[in-house]
Amino acid sequence: KIRGNSMAIKINFDNSFSNLPNKFYYKIFPEKTKSPNLIILNQNLCNELNLDYKDLSSSEGVNFLSGNSVLKNSNPLAMVYAGHQFGNWVPQLGDGRALLLGEVIAKNNVRYDIQLKGSGRTPYSRGGDGKAWLGPVIREYLVSEYMNKINIPTTRSLSAITTGDKVFRETELPGAILCRVAKSHIRVGTFQYFYSREDTKSLKILADYFIKNHFPNLEKKENKYFELFKNVVDGQIDLVAKWMKVGFIHGVMNTDNTSISCETIDYGPCAFIDNYKSDKVFSSIDSMGRYCYKNQPNILMWNMACFATTLVPLLEGTEEKKVDILQKEISSISEKYKNKWLLEFSKKIGLKKIYQENEVLINRFLEILESENLDFTNSFRGLIKEAENSNELISKTDAFKSWKNDWKKLIKNKSNQKEVCKTITSNNPAFIMRNHLVEQIIQELLTDKKDTLNKALVCIEKPFEKIKHYEKMYVGPTKEQEVLRTFCGT
């Protein structure tokens, strides 16, 4: 079954998922690609994962990253899962266009999955072709690496390549493959898959596997599955609060896109808000606004309730007691989230602590942004100049003047100008991987231009500062550039 001859490429795969029972996956090789070509290879990530950058950028490396050659110690497989998509139950999903090649232990001693996305059909492809085109691959690469740089937990991107094959969507497009790296690809939907089949034995194997790899300190704990639940809830609260902080709209918060390792996963129709609108939706298929900006914390709770359900068979105690403790945990989400949100947004306006006045002040600021159609990122960042009493104003309206007055009083009372500016600077990125830039980069790549891509890669490296001569990378879109609709990355 060995394919290819990538003897020069050496990766210390250490595959634990493929040792789980057959029910968890389907072992299958990636499809061959015609003429793979490297667009981006992530040098920092190679280093973190102990992978040789030079080897991977060689033609043999590119063959590996395109799935053309499969290493002897790799064990490619498509993971199975189920999930609620837009609230509707789908009993079977799974990696329909992705394959797990194996796992590596990184320099930080953490285990990471190495996956190809866009590598061809699997038994879980349903009607799909198992492929990806250049657009979604580039979007995922840029946005995920950006998220990592602004300290938001996320899957990573090791490489983006074009395959030389055509992919058919509404038109013919260049095929591409992303090499995705994650602490885990286990989702709420993976638990739901076994729960819905009343397969408690597999459910336990799954939970034990996850605990062993990700929360080894829970292994000996009493009621470890409840402890697992609490940890995942806390991780998801942290994650969604961080999304809200930077105006990120995930777009498809289905349970199959909700990672148990609490990393942002599946950059399909995602986008960052430009002009602030609390019920902003980008995704073309989210017609009801289920996954709009302000609804993300509610959906987090909904998804955690789905996860809780799957754990009932594993918990100890009477049915009543089990449901009761899970219910209590779910009910605590909204207050925990609120506190996290309040702390993160307090920092955005320059305050490291939560004072009584903060909440009203933050909400008033957001109302001003919304009613005056102002840019989310640049307005928060603009508070630096406001704190310095510069004449670069966020707004000239009376509402803003009055807000500024109250804000100034508070920051004077609780902190000092230098501290406030420092806090605003480190909590509001100057650079946001805006959707109109992503679109521009994709359009340029279609004609083999890399100008904006290269600029974006530089900006991503230092998101909290403005790079000289790159002014255009920091402004919101013009009316013509504005992207109104985004699409799932198929």
Query: Is the CB of 4 or the CB of 268 nearer to ligand AMP?
Result: 268
Please tell me the total number of residues recorded for the chain in this structure: 490
Closest among 437, 61, 479, 71 to 271, alpha carbons compared: 437
63, 257, 261, 264: which one contacts Mg ion (CB under 5 A)?
A: 257
Task: From the candidates 113, 165, 256, 286, give the one annotated as an active-site residue.
Answer: 256
Pick 197 or 338: Cβ nearer ligand AMP: 197
3-state DSSP percent of the chain in helix, strand and coil, to 5: 45, 15, 40
- Residue 97 binding partner per list Mg ion, ligand AMP, none, with a CB distance cut-off of 5 to 8 Å that depends on partner kind: ligand AMP
Nearer to ligand AMP, 129 or 238 (CB): 129
**Taking the complex as a whole, how short is the minimal distance between the CB of residue 131 and ligand AMP, in angstroms?**
6
Closest distance between ligand AMP and the C-beta of residue 408, in Å?
A: 46
The DSSP secondary structure of 193-210, one letter per residue, reads HHHHTT-HHHHHHHHHHH
Kindly state the smallest distance separating residue 217's Cβ from Mg ion, in Å. Answer: 29
How far is C-alpha 285 from the chain's CA centre? 19
| Identity of the residue, 266 or 286, whose beta carbon is nearer to Mg ion in the bound complex | 266
Closest to 265 (Cα-Cα) out of 181, 151, 179: 181
State the minimum distance, in angstroms, from the CB of residue 443 to ligand AMP: 21
490 binds, among Mg ion, ligand AMP, none (CB under 5 to 8 A by kind): ligand AMP
Instruction: Using alpha carbons only, give the angle 62, 66, 67 rounded to the nearest 5 degrees.
Output: 120
Q: Which residues bind ligand AMP (CB under 6 A)?
A: 93-97, 124-125, 128-131, 252, 257, 266, 268, 488-490
d(CA 443, CA 457): 16
H helices present in 252-295, as ranges = none
Rounded Cα gap, residues 29 and 3, in angstroms = 9
Nearer Cβ to ligand AMP (56/99): 99
Rounded Cα distance between 221 and 148, Å, is: 31
With CB under 5 to 8 Å by kind, the binding choice for 268 among Mg ion, ligand AMP, none is: ligand AMP
Q: Least distance to ligand AMP from the beta carbon of 293, Å? A: 19
Binding-site member from 31, 266, 386, 439 for Mg ion (CB under 5 A): 266
Which of 294, 285, 188, 303 shows the shortest CA–CA distance to 248?
A: 294
Nearest to 377 by CA among 164, 64, 146, 39: 146
Which range binds Mg ion by CB under 5 A, 78-86, 203-211, 250-258, 413-421? 250-258
Q: Is 451 a catalytic residue?
A: no
Residue 397 is given by DSSP the state S
DSSP secondary structure code for residue 415 in this structure: S
- Report the alpha-carbon distance of residue 174 to residue 166 in Å, rounded: 5
From the list Mg ion, ligand AMP, none, pick the one residue 214 interacts with, judged by a Cβ distance below 5 to 8 Å according to partner type. Answer: none
C-beta of 257 vs 427, nearer to ligand AMP: 257
Which stretch, 73-81, 217-225, 261-269, 351-359, contacts Mg ion (CB under 5 A)?
261-269
Minimum distance, C-beta of residue 70 to Mg ion, in the bound complex (Å): 23
- Chain residues in the site for Mg ion (CB under 5 A): 257, 266
Q: Which residues are catalytic?
A: 256
